[in-house]
Amino acid sequence: MLKQIEGSRAMAEAIGLCRPEVICAYPITPQTHIVEGLGEMARTGEIKNCEFINVESEFAALSVAIGASAAGARAYTATASQGLLYMAEAVYNASGLGLPIVMTLGNRAIGAPINIWNDHSDAMAVCDSGWMQLFAETNQEAADLHIQAFRLAEELSMPVMVCVDGFILTHAVEQVDIPEQADVDAYLPSYEPVQVLDPKDPISIGAMVGPDAFTEVRYLQHYKQTLALRLIPEYAADFKSRFGRDSGGLLRSYRADDAELIVVAMGSVNGTIKDTIDEMRADGLSVGLVTLVSFRPFPTEALREKLVRARNVVVIEKSLAVGMGGPLANNVDLALRNVAGAPQVHSVIAGLGGRPITRTSLHRVLRRALVQPWEGSHFLDLNEEIVAKELHYVRKVRRSGPTAENLLRRLGQAADEAAVKTAV
Amino acid sequence: MFQVRFHGRGGQGVVTAAELLSVAAFLEQRHAQAFPSFGSERMGAPVVSFCRIDDKEIRLREPILEPDALIVQDPTLFKAIDVCQGLKSTGYLLVNSSRSLSELHLDAIANRLPAGHVLTVPASELALKHIGRPLSNAALLGAFARLSGIVQLKSVAAAIREAFGEKIAEANVAAATAAYDAVAAASAAA
Amino acid sequence: MNEQTTTLDATQKLHFYQKGTFTVGNRLVSDERRAVQASTDRSNALTCGHRACQGCGEALGARYAMDAAMRATGGNVIAVNATGCLEVFTTPYPETSWQTPWLHSLFGNAAAVATGVAAAMRVKGRSEVRAIAQGGDGGTTDIGFGCLSGMFERNDDVLYICYDNEGYMNTGVQRSSATPPGARTATTPAMGPEPGNVFGTGKSVPKIAVAHGIPYVATATVADLHDLERKVMRAMGIHGARYLQIHVPCPLGWGSASHDTIRLARLAVECGLFPLFEAEHGVVTSSQKIRRRVPVDDYLKPQRRFAHLFSTEEGRERIGRLQGLADRNIAEYHLLEAEGDA
Amino acid sequence: MEHPFAISLDVGSSLANLTGSWRTSRPVYVDRLPPCNNACPAGENIQSWLYYAESGDYESAWRTLTIDNPLPAVMGRVCYHPCEGACNRAQVDEAVGINSVERFLGDVAIRNGWRFEPPQADSGKRVLVVGAGPSGLSAAYHLRRMGHAVEIQEAGPFAGGMMRFGIPKYRLPRDVLDAEINRIIDLGVVMKLDTKVDRIVESMREGGFDAAFLAVGAHIGKRSFIPAGSASKILDAVSLLRSMEGEDQPLLGRRVVVYGGGNTAIDAARTAKRLGATEAIIVYRRTRDRMPAHDFEVEEALQEGIMMKWLSTIKRMDEGTLTVEKMRLDESGFPQPTGEFETLETDALVLALGQDVDLSLLDGVPGLEIKDGVVTVAPNMMTGHAGIFAGGDMVPSERTVTVAVGHGKKAARHIDAWLRGDAYAPAERHELAGIDKLNTWYYADAPKTVRPMLEIARRQSTFEEVQGGLDETNALYEARRCLSCGNCFECDNCYGVCPDNAVIKLGPGQRFQFNYDYCKGCGVCAQECPCGAIAMVPEEI
């Protein structure tokens, strides 16, 4: 049923259709509306046979999910940012134990400085934890990905994180087609665990594994994710055949087949990039887009195939590996490793801490990439003046104080000066 | 694509206003996207929300920087921030006030925009009358439907009825209708 | 024969039993009056071949508690284990010593994981399967405290058992918030102006549990099996959050002889430093009386972690302060009152 | 079910890990000697019969008891119970009332008419037992059960010896004594009363006996020279007590003094009191704590109004008065005269200064050695004359019923072996189970049961039995106070307390077994064994 609906609510309804049995909720902006919605549906009976548990922390949220999943229940939770880091230990644990939990990550920056707005730092912080990570471009895809995520997780007995941009998607009201229960039931079989805690057939789960077997355990985890490279497109195709929509898959491309310059990005920014590309194409510029849905497993081969004919690749990402650069760019590089005549990869760090990524800025950086590609990371819309001032100040004054507050003060001064100028 | 920016203060319901407008457009089989300014602002702070309306899928996720219309819930905001930043020269401006544009010192702005695109409407007054509380959203949307013609009044009414329980919905619909009529009367007078 | 047994049991009401009242079993009492541990069909939930140290109190306490829980539930138990000695010595790949379904997740989340297990069982319509979380004092009173408190306040249907050996033994004997004052650990060495663990620190998680108002809180010891089993049985007869803290001496961490494990547990109770009590819904309802009171010296002396207290005048003073703590417990929990009719 | 690799494991798989290899010392089950058994002069296996009594199986208890001692009802009254003195429970609360349970069992047996199992086969050997006192009866009983033909020749008119003629009936009712003697006779022992053996060798030859056991009691009261007037009434305690068994009760008068500090002195004084004496005074040259009489007897005497005059010797007796000299104890505890005198009014003086045995039947027997009025015997109780054994009061030993019964048993075993041309080798004694071997925490506090006592007025005027017995509940309670020192009573402690589940429970009566595949040798089982039946021994390297 097509609805004009808040993204969080749409996701909640989609998750509800997956018949989750245990939902663990802990509030953190911007994922909170999702679990609020689920809580309401559990209360009203819209979701039947479901334990909705208000826990005391994200660590507990995922821990409860771990227990529930190991005991054979379909378990779900959601988090963001600091919350994900607070549960980081359990994140690794869930995947290490091979528990098919699905978790929504309302992507948000990580402090300090504290910041509630969107970027992908949180997802990147745990991208190597063994969870599969799927990034939604729209709220329709966000809703659809959850349905696919449960199937994927349970087939492989591996947890899946559905990454949705905080506020931009979670708080946006737009139209989403919410599937029918019967269709979801037909698509998503009931959970048959590969291991379960049951007094009738007891096992011990979570043994201490030493050097003699740890490598094998890790290898098998890795191997499962390589299996997912086949399953993700398969489930997306099945989804399309049943629901008539392209949602999910490993990646999608947009006007990229003949493009000289291909942009690679994840999440909601792809929409703005598509509009920008259309405008650039209208200007005769050969630009295309590859939207990465699956960051883990990383679709190395599929990506290589899409990129290999381009001259330049610009990776636009909402994350920064401090001291290294863009982690997504780094991963994209991997797809082109050892490829003869591979395109040059250029990194753009954008949208950190919720800074809007505008068409204007995209035009500027992409047009530059066509004529004057750069090495290293380009920080989109970086206020270089303020940075320079701060660097100067820090060099001058030993006790220079907190950087974040310094920058805010400078921004304020700049605004005042502008106001004075205007007045003059 | 038609883009509307709402200005208000925390607690006045700018987010709801944007959502209602998007739902009204949706009900007319159009694509619409409403989203807040993503802040953690508390009651009373200046806040904005956005609504895009188009006939095709809306992919754009940037904030609305060059709106086709501004709906201002609180005229005191003109003193606090640059409300009209980026407003297109063909744009609309609807201000919630019982006072005239001149009284609000908005003549300069009004003069930059096409005639009949700028209006004040006593939305809070109408809300007090019909709803009993100064909740201006419905009245503003009713007025905006008439002013811009981007959505029909009946769509606004339907959106309101979807969002609220019957009693509150009807009061709001009444306020929206009254505002719509007030704008119609004003434009007829002009 | 049956008739005779009945007669004898009736006699015991007049004259309580001499031999065997506190022993694990006794040929002269009916099966119900014997400890679960006396039975050849006890579950041995924690079976042979585990890698605990010689004389491990925790291995003992865990089997006592789990076997009792198994008896109480007809074998319908799922155990969740915090990281720690118990986890490490029972489940090194490729062997596990557990015979019940068992899950180890993390150090600090056993209570929450057990909440998940209980929720799963409820949603699966198998509420007869009961969740038990277990951990050491580090995993309970320190790192797992948040999850523990959360489980308590939600009144989740979980029995949490803390095997309290008063320190981080798995990592090499460091201080925890359950380490008693004066005790030497690797992080509270017997050096400096206040050698050993600092007086005035630490916390009573049983008391904190009582403050949550949960249906049942109790302390127990491996030295009093009957009391321990009774408390586990009682706990398993109640739904909601329950907490049991079992005092389990650690020969390695305490510097005691492996054969003294139960003796020390007993002395801890009999000197008053480890009071045995029960509480329901926020109110202390009973305490186990001290049978043969001893000064704290008797308990402290066989443990090398307290040896430094016996060598100096200041140390003697600190023993006096420990005696003060014991005396306070005795007064607070009425540990010396005459037994009631029960 | 195939589990995910390594993380998930099959339950109980640690059984593959044999932790027994960690062990440096191993626990072993042992049997240690209970102090009560160790202390019993009659060699009773007390703990064993208490074990049966604990479960209410009184007949098995009695049968176990009577393997060693045929006179439990007697013993339960007159034994000075050194077992209780040795009982470890005394260090926990109070000693187990072994004596009272023994009496209970003896009384139950009499009440139920339980009889001894007759011997399975006759040996064809004949043994003469001289004297039907406790030692002779005991020897006769054991020898008969071993299959020998036994004849007791008793000089007196009744069987029982000093049990009848030395112990007042208020301590040992005669029906009880008769019942237990008759049960021995019922085994086929020939009892010839009023048959004094004058020449033992001849008696043996005439009767065709292969061996003899001499068990003549010390019936001759020792006299001390006390200057006395002609009208003074002086008699000895043995005669007094013996005359109580006759038809004419002796006339002692209203004021009676008994001279001596042994149990016989107490018996005499208490008898005098019951015969109507208003004053019965015991004069003893030393102090109460140095009195040979058992303290509880002194206590009972005091309760009955017997008066004691300590540190006094009698110098002379005139009609109606005694002259007494005050004594003091020197550094070594011996009484020394002080030269201070006083007089006591008295109608009769009873001398209780010890007894002698009439050894005339041994005159001329070759090889015999008599020293200090008793016969020298080898460790096998045989005198210097082959085939003649002796015991009881006749040999150097403490003169109690219990010792005598023990002698009888011991002699019987040696006679039996000797008759077979063999030598009896007693079983090796286990290590003593001292209190240090026990873990007494496991025993509930349970003070000793107090036996009912006859009320004082009746104790002062009648010869009714002073001390009552236990009823069944009491007896059961008392039996259950036994700690089972040194011997497994299947309390399941080792089975329960093993942190490694390395104890195998074999089932009722079968005890336990260590599973050395898993036992790490921590020693908790040995420490927590309540009764000290587990020892830790070093592993051989």
**A367-373 mean pLDDT:** 95
Q: What pLDDT shows up at residue D457? A: 81
**D326-344 mean pLDDT:** 91
**A66-87 mean pLDDT:** 98
Q: What pLDDT shows up at residue D364? A: 87
Residues A373 and A239 in one domain: no
Cβ–Cβ below 8 Å for A272 and B23: no
Instruction: For chain A, give the mean pLDDT.
Output: 96
Q: What percentage of chain C carries pLDDT values higher than 70?
A: 92
- pLDDT over 70 at D196, yes or no: yes
Question: D126-219+357-419 and D223-354 share one CATH topology?
Answer: yes
Candidate from A138, A167, A173 with C-beta closest to B34? A173
> What Cα–Cα distance (Å) separates residue C190 from each residue in A213, C183, C195, C306, D120?
40, 8, 4, 9, 75
CB < 8 Å to D9, chain A? 203-204, 207
- pLDDT over 90 at D445, yes or no: no
Sign of CA dihedral A31, A34, A35, A37: positive
Identify whether the C-beta of residue B72 lies closer than 8 Å to the C-beta of residue B98.
no
Minimal C-alpha gap between A157 and chain D (Å): 10
We report the CATH number of the domain holding residue C97 as 3.40.50.970
pLDDT tens-digit readout, A309-337? 999 999 999 999 999 999 999 999 999 99
Q: Does A96 touch chain D (CB under 8 A)?
A: yes
Q: Where are the domains of chain B?
A: 2-189
* Chains B+C touching (3+ CB pairs under 8 Å): no
Task: Supply angle C-alpha D365, D370, D376, rounded to 5.
Answer: 100
Using CA atoms, how far apart are residues C255 and C270, in angstroms rounded to an integer? Answer: 20
**C291-300 mean pLDDT:** 96
Architecture of the CATH domain D14-31+488-538 = 2-Layer Sandwich (3.30)
pLDDT tens-digit readout, A222-259? 999 999 999 999 999 999 999 999 999 999 999 999 99
Cis upstream peptide for C94 (omega within 30°)? yes
Q: Does A218 touch chain D (CB under 8 A)?
A: no
Cβ–Cβ below 8 Å for D19 and C48: yes
Interface-testing mutation among C2, C23, C85, C260, with chain D (most D C-beta atoms within 10 A):
C23
Candidate from C76, C78, C93 with C-beta closest to A208? C93
Q: What percentage of chain A carries pLDDT values higher than 70?
A: 99
CB < 8 Å to A212, chain C? 93
Residues A153 and A44 in one domain: yes
Cβ–Cβ below 8 Å for A71 and C91: no
User: How many folded domains does chain C comprise?
Assistant: 1
pLDDT tens-digit readout, B149-165? 999 999 999 999 999 99
Q: What pLDDT shows up at residue B10? A: 85
pLDDT tens-digit readout, A278-317? 999 999 999 999 999 999 999 999 999 999 999 999 999 9
Q: What percentage of chain A carries pLDDT values higher than 90?
A: 93
Confidence of residue D452 (pLDDT cuts 50, 70, 90): confident
More confident residue, D471 or D65: D65
Look at phi and psi of residue D186 and say left if phi exceeds 0, alpha if psi is from -120 to 50, else beta. Answer: alpha
Of the candidates B82, B131, B85, B91, the residue with the CA atom closest to the CA atom of residue B110:
B91
Minimal C-alpha gap between C302 and chain D (Å): 14
Query: Per DSSP, which regions of A26-91 are E strands?
Result: 51-54, 75-79
Residues A82 and A226 in one domain: yes
Cβ–Cβ below 8 Å for C109 and A208: no
Q: What pLDDT shows up at residue D231? A: 67
Cβ–Cβ below 8 Å for C98 and A54: no
- pLDDT over 90 at D248, yes or no: no
Q: Where are the domains of chain D?
A: 14-31+488-538, 41-114+446-477, 126-219+357-419, 223-354
Map tokens 């068992």 to a residue.
C102
Interface-testing mutation among D500, D505, D537, with chain C (most C C-beta atoms within 10 A):
D500
* CB-CB neighbours of D338 under 10 Å: 11
Interface-testing mutation among C105, C121, C155, C160, with chain A (most A C-beta atoms within 10 A):
C105
Using CA atoms, how far apart are residues C45 and D271, in angstroms rounded to an integer? Answer: 69
Using CA atoms, how far apart are residues C210 and C212, in angstroms rounded to an integer? Answer: 5
Q: Does C93 touch chain D (CB under 8 A)?
A: yes
- pLDDT over 70 at C56, yes or no: yes
Candidate from C102, C113, C122 with C-beta closest to A204? C102
Minimal C-alpha gap between A192 and chain C (Å): 13
CB < 8 Å to A207, chain C? 91-94, 96, 104
Which of A192, A227, A243 finishes a domain? A243
**C252-268 mean pLDDT:** 98
Residues A120 and A61 in one domain: yes
Minimal C-alpha gap between A42 and chain C (Å): 12
Q: What pLDDT shows up at residue C10? A: 38
Candidate from A24, A66, A199 with C-beta closest to C105? A66
Candidate from A64, A71, A206 with C-beta closest to C104? A206
Cβ–Cβ below 8 Å for C262 and D527: yes
CB < 8 Å to C118, chain A? 67
pLDDT tens-digit readout, D339-368? 999 999 999 999 999 899 999 999 889 999
Return phi, psi of residue B70, to 5°: -120, 135
Instruction: For chain B, give the mean pLDDT.
Output: 93
**C103-121 mean pLDDT:** 98
Query: Per DSSP, which regions of A148-266 are E strands?
Result: 160-165, 173-177, 203-205, 251-254, 261-265
Using CA atoms, how far apart are residues C43 and C132, in angstroms rounded to an integer? Answer: 15
Q: What pLDDT shows up at residue D148? A: 97
CB < 8 Å to A271, chain B? 58-61
Fold category of D223-354 in CATH: FAD/NAD(P)-binding domain (3.50.50)
CATH number of this structure's domain D41-114+446-477, picked from the four choices 2.40.110.10, 1.10.274.10, 1.10.1060.10, 1.20.120.10: 1.10.1060.10
- pLDDT over 70 at D3, yes or no: yes
CB < 8 Å to D7, chain A? 96-98, 205-207, 209, 217
Confidence of residue D311 (pLDDT cuts 50, 70, 90): very high
**A369-378 mean pLDDT:** 94
Identify whether the C-beta of residue D335 lies closer than 8 Å to the C-beta of residue D285.
yes
Q: What pLDDT shows up at residue A103? A: 98
Q: What pLDDT shows up at residue C337? A: 65
Interface-testing mutation among D2, D8, D13, D17, with chain A (most A C-beta atoms within 10 A):
D8
Cβ–Cβ below 8 Å for C75 and A199: yes
Q: Which of A348-357, B52-61, C15-24 has the lowest mean pLDDT?
A: C15-24
| Longest distance between any two alpha carbons in chain C, whole Å | 67
Q: What pLDDT shows up at residue A416? A: 78
Q: Which of C243-247, D445-449, D518-522 has the lowest mean pLDDT?
A: D445-449
Identify whether the C-beta of residue C81 lies closer than 8 Å to the C-beta of residue C62.
no
Maximum average pLDDT range among B107-111, C158-162, D289-293: C158-162
Element (H, E) at C92: none
Class of domain D126-219+357-419 (CATH, top level): alpha beta
Q: What pLDDT shows up at residue C338? A: 58
Residues A267 and A395 in one domain: no
In a domain, C56, yes or no: yes
Instruction: For chain C, give the mean pLDDT.
Output: 92
Q: Quick one: tokens of A265?
A: 């990005």
Model ipTM value: 0.90
Q: What percentage of chain D carries pLDDT values higher than 70?
A: 99
In a domain, C2, yes or no: no
- pLDDT over 90 at A421, yes or no: no
CB < 8 Å to D56, chain C? 4, 7-8
Identify whether the C-beta of residue D244 lies closer than 8 Å to the C-beta of residue D168.
yes
Cβ–Cβ below 8 Å for D56 and C7: yes
Confidence of residue C341 (pLDDT cuts 50, 70, 90): very low
pLDDT tens-digit readout, A174-201? 999 999 999 999 999 999 999 999 999 9
Architecture of the CATH domain B2-189 = 3-Layer(aba) Sandwich (3.40)
Q: What pLDDT shows up at residue D90? A: 92
Confidence of residue C233 (pLDDT cuts 50, 70, 90): very high
User: How many folded domains does chain A comprise?
Assistant: 3
Using only C-alpha atoms, what is the Rg of chain D?
A: 28
Minimal C-alpha gap between C260 and chain A (Å): 29
Which residues span the domain enclosing A266?
A: 251-379
Q: Which 117-146 residues of chain A touch chain C by CB within 8 A?
A: none
Q: Quick one: tokens of C50?
A: 């585990």
Cβ–Cβ below 8 Å for A217 and D7: yes
β-strands D335-345, D321-329 pairing: antiparallel
Neighbours of chain C (3+ CB pairs under 8 A): A, D
Q: What pLDDT shows up at residue B189? A: 76
DSSP D362-403: GTT-TT--EETTEE---TTSB-SSTTEEE-GGGSSS---HHH
Return phi, psi of residue A327, to 5°: -65, -35
- pLDDT over 80 at C17, yes or no: no
Identify whether the C-beta of residue D536 lies closer than 8 Å to the C-beta of residue D521.
yes
DSSP B32-84: EEEEE------TTSEEEEEEEEESS-----S--SS-SEEEES-TTHHHHS-TT
pTM over 0.95: no
| Helix locations, chain B, DSSP H | 14-27, 77-80, 107-112, 123-130, 137-148, 153-163, 166-189
Q: What pLDDT shows up at residue C16? A: 43
CB < 8 Å to A159, chain C? none
Confidence of residue C26 (pLDDT cuts 50, 70, 90): confident
> What Cα–Cα distance (Å) separates residue C226 from each residue in B71, B152, C6, C35?
76, 79, 21, 6
- pLDDT over 80 at D402, yes or no: yes
Minimal C-alpha gap between A422 and chain B (Å): 12
Using CA atoms, how far apart are residues A179 and B188, in angstroms rounded to an integer? Answer: 47
- pLDDT over 60 at C2, yes or no: no
Which residues span the domain enclosing C198?
A: 43-332
Task: Supply angle C-alpha C29, C30, C35, rounded to 5.
Answer: 80
